[in-house]
Amino acid sequence: MPLCCQRGKGGGLSNVGSELLEEVIAIARDAGRVIMDCYSRPSNVSAKQDGSPVTDADERAEALILTALAQLTPNIPVIAEEAVSRGRSTEIGPSFWLVDPLDGTREFISRSGEFTVNIGLIEKGRPALGVVLAPALGRLFAAVIGKAVFAEEESRRRPITCRTPPPEGVTVVSSRSHGDAAALKSFLHERGVERSVSAGSSLKFCLIASGDADLYPRFGNTMEWDTAAAHAILAAAGGQLTDLLGRELTYGKRGFLNPPFIATGKPSCAAECRTIEAKATYAEFAVSLDAKQD
């Protein structure tokens, strides 16, 4: 039976809760099984107009998710990566879904296992619910803002929360397949970094949400479907996702393009001071990146 069709004041959904979350988890798991079926065979890879790769796993998983969400929430529009790349235009409302059926296609192709299914619900420009599934790793992260946030592995669920960075310094996570190494090195210079790790897809946000990392700066382009689901999980776990001037990322922007951003967990006093000190650096990066993109 369709869920989440009742609207509250202002056009928002009025019953985003555990029942809806479990339904979305089930959809993500179904998509994960489709992806793993493709993962067991040689990949059929082609290039999209922007030059990025797409596989039959992307297409099949997205078709499944679109059908399932249309049945689950028939009044809620869905913005999905592959449909947008084919030129499909969907009008959004106060509530809409953002879907990346296979985040980390390059990781899928390279068989690293670090790819995810991302399904996020947006309410009035902000994430309300998120599910991130890494089917090859058997790891799930899920949240409803203000109600629940957890990780699941081997059928065991545990609540997660961002950590306060230790006195030794922060753990920084960066993209395994994307990013500007020179910009990252400059940004991290004298920032009290204890160690750096690499990860693929939305798992970078989930490492912060689960207390395994503290900071993820991203200076390259990303789309809203890349971040929405993980943003919900990070926020529910006590973290933040902001642009380089400290403003929270919002959704429903023209073209669904994100600005450069920084994801953080719970800041210690020292980390807060470093963040304040870095404001000017953020602005410089923003200006230089705008110049490059122009």
For 12-78, what is the HEC assignment? CECCCCHHHHHHHHHHHHHHHHHHHHHHCCCCCEEECCCCCEEEHHHHHHHHHHHHHHHHHCCCCCE
Contact (Cβ atoms closer than 8 angstroms) between residue 117 and residue 35 = yes
Res. 172: pLDDT tops 50: yes
Q: Is 50 inside any structural domain?
A: yes
Q: Quick one: 86 and 199 in the same domain?
A: no
Give the residue from 132, 159, 186 where a domain finishes: 159
User: Domain range holding 85?
Assistant: 9-159
Q: What's the mean pLDDT in 38-57?
A: 87
What CATH code is carried by the domain that includes residue 14?
3.30.540.10
Read off the pLDDT of residues 228-262 as tens digits, 9 standing for 90 and up: 999 999 999 999 999 988 899 999 999 999 999 99
Q: Quick one: 118 and 185 in the same domain?
A: no
Q: Is the pTM of this model over 0.75?
A: yes
Provide the percentage of residues in the chain whose pLDDT is more than 70: 79
Q: Quick one: 177 and 147 in the same domain?
A: no
What CATH code is carried by the domain that includes residue 289?
3.40.190.80
